[in-house]
Each structure stands twice: as C-alpha cells, then as structure tokens.
Structure 1
Amino acid sequence: MNPPHSAYVDESMRVSAGLYLMAAVLVPPACAEVYRMALRGLLLRNQRRLHWRDEKDRRRTQLAETVGALGPSGIVIVGTGLDRGRQERARRKCMERLLWELVNRGVGEVVFESRGSHLDNSDRVMIDVMRTRNLLPDRIRAVWRDPVLEPLVWMPDIVAGAASLAEVGEESLMKSIGGEVVIERFSVD
C-alpha cells in the first residue's frame, strides 16, 4: 500500500474582492524530492524563496507553467464575503473546510507555510479544538514549515495566487496550472 499523500498549504487574499483563499497541493511521497528540485530551479540569483506577490506577470506565467508541468492535484477553498477586519476568522473558516476536504481525500500530513510562532500557535489551537470536537481525526498530522527551508509550500502559494486572479476574471494562469485542482467556494461572513 502506498503511504498517504502530504498536503502543502498556503493562503492568498484579495481583500478588495472580499476573498480569502486557502490552497492545498497534494504531494505523493515518491514525488516530493522531484518537486522540490523543480521549484528550487525557479529561484533567481539571491532569491531565497518563491512568493507569488513578489513576482511580476511574466515570471508568474513561468511559475504557473512549471507547477502545471508537475501535474498537481489539490483543492482551493475560496472564502467569499471577507471582511477586511476579520481576516483571521476567514482563515479559520477556510482552514476548517480545507481540513475536512483533506480528511476525505485520505491525506496523512498537512504542511502549512509558517506565518511566525504566534500565528502558527493560533492555527494549532484551532486544530486542537477540531480534534476535541471530532472534526479532525488524530491520524492527520499538522506541521508548520519555514518557506525558505521547504520549497513544497511554494506550490500552494502559486496555486492560490493564480486562483485569486481567476476569481477576478484573469483565468489564464490557473488554466496553465491545470491538473486536478478543485475549487470550492463558500461564504465566510
């Protein structure tokens, strides 16, 4: 039997459109190192990590096409109705929905891009609450990784960025990613 996939997770916001997006890319253990090498190969000189918001349009196309060539599967949760002052609430609602989706896909480990110890601890508290309410099984392991040290968290960053553009009508980069990426929308207000 194959070991379960790991899901690498990152978020994107488009506050002006009232959107909070959380993307998960499923990575089979046998593919993890190949994906890391492909992603590291995209780094420019003196660049320590990839980050969607720091890239120009031409470069974003290159990133989306590279991720698309890896044939990702995953899910993007699009939370609509984002209130500018309630971003952490929107994150919790999107995370709860995403984790439910990942449980149903048999994921064994969820790797979040670290947002710093304070915000990571807020996520941990939420996950603990989900476990006590039997909304998240103990078999799912959740960890937070530094994006400089773990290139696989760059993939959901790219997917979330492309999906956020698609939500406002710029669909070409999401089409470049292709693969089996499911988009689920729901209201976070």
Structure 2
Amino acid sequence: MSASTAWSDESFQEHDDAGFYIIAAAVIPDDALDQAREAMLRLQAKHAPAKLHWTKRDNAERAELARTVAALDGLHVVAVGAPVGPRRQERARAHCLNLLVCELHGFGVKHLFMEARDQVLNARDVATVQQARYALPKEAVFRLDHLPGAAEPLLWVADIVAGAVRAEKLGEPRYREILRERVIDFPVEVR
C-alpha cells in the first residue's frame, strides 16, 4: 500500500475514572483517494446535508457507514488514550497525536490532515507534531494541516472509524467488528 497522506478525526468519552480519547487516521492509498471521497459523498447525499457525522446517525446508519468504510481500500490507525479524567482532554489528545505521528510515519505517511478546531487548539496540534518529529529519523518529513470537517470527505472516514472504536469501548462491538482487520489500534497510557 502506497499512501503518503492520512486523514484524522477524534472522539472523546468523559468519565471520572474511565474516560478515553481516540484519534483515528484513515490511511488510504494515493490511487484510491478519489474512490473513497466518492463513497463518502454518496453517503452524505443519502444521509446528511453537510458532513457525515457518526454521532448524528442511528444504529442502522452507523452499520451502513462502517460497511462502506470496510469496503474501502486502506488501513485505519487508531490511538486510544486512557484513562482520561475530567479536564484532561487536551493532554490526552497530545499523547495520542504523538504516538499517531510515529505510527503513521512507519506506514509511509508524510502528511496528516486533521479536522480543524479553533486557531489556538490547531496551534497546539502543530506544536505536538513538531515535538513528535524528534522521535522520527533525522531526515523524516512529516507535516500537519487542519481542514474544516465539511470541506474534506476523507475526514469523514476517520470520524466513522473513531465512532466505531468508541462504540466498542462503550460495549457495542458490532461496528468495530465490521471494520475488522482494517483497523489497527494502539493503546496510549495517559496519566
């Protein structure tokens, strides 16, 4: 698989003792990007006026979303940070993003696109990636850019993967089971 880009979104579950943070990255071969975008746009036309969003779908729609992503060429790399206590979301995000950069580099990814938040939070992500690059080989190239969620359908792939992994962590494994070997998840200890 030759993929130089990855497309990322996150999910978070707040809980006093058992919270977790998920960052999913869709690693789609360069020659399959247009096909994946088209698949997401077909789902959007069927289900949503703007971007597809896992949390706004019912169980049948979620199963359809997971089946569509499972049929796409590619692999999905997921960092799952736990435990995450209240008001520790950004710390967990940084730990997950740090690990994700290293894992994505190992798959040949050189450019990560994440769903944009606000300017300050986007700058934190950039700083985290800059720090994570120190763990990569000296000549390694790795870049991060933020995009509005509605502007890039490939971000929706990552949203679906993050949603399926989140559902599994909450006791509903059926969506993650649909994705099976398309997802590799890495635990991240967050303290």
- Provide TM-score, normalisation by structure 1: 0.90
Paired letter, 1:77: A
Structure 2, unaligned runs of 5 or more: none
Shift of 1:186: 2.6
Q: What is the rounded CA distance, in whole Å, between the counterparts of 2:131 and 2:4 in structure 1? A: 24
Q: Does 1:66 align with 2:65?
A: no
Query: Secondary structure of 2:87's match?
Result: helix
CA contact 1:9–1:153 (8 Å) conserved in 2? yes
Alignment RMSD, CA only? Answer: 1.8
1:30-58 CA-partner distances (Å, limit 9, x unpaired): 11111000000011466110111111222
| Superposed counterparts of 1:6-155, under 5 Å | 6-16=5-15, 17-43=18-44, 44=46, 47-131=49-133, 134-136=134-136, 138-155=140-157
- More off after superposition, 149-158 vs 14-23: 14-23
Identify if the C-alpha distance between structure 1 residues 164 and 45 changes in structure 2 by more than 3 Å, giving closer, same or farther.
closer
- More off after superposition, 172-181 vs 75-84: 172-181
Residue 160 of structure 1 is matched in structure 2 by: 162
CA contact 2:29–2:73 (8 Å) conserved in 1? no
Query: Secondary structure of 1:85's match?
Result: coil
CA contact 2:2–2:108 (8 Å) conserved in 1? no
Q: What is the rounded CA distance, in whole Å, between the counterparts of 1:39 and 1:112 in structure 2? A: 17
Identify if the C-alpha distance between structure 1 residues 46 and 39 changes in structure 2 by more than 3 Å, giving closer, same or farther.
closer
Shift of 1:3: 5.8
Shift of 1:71: 4.1
Shift of 1:128: 2.6
Query: Sequence identity, in percent?
Result: 32
Aligned length: 186
- Provide TM-score, normalisation by structure 2: 0.90
CA contact 2:29–2:74 (8 Å) conserved in 1? no
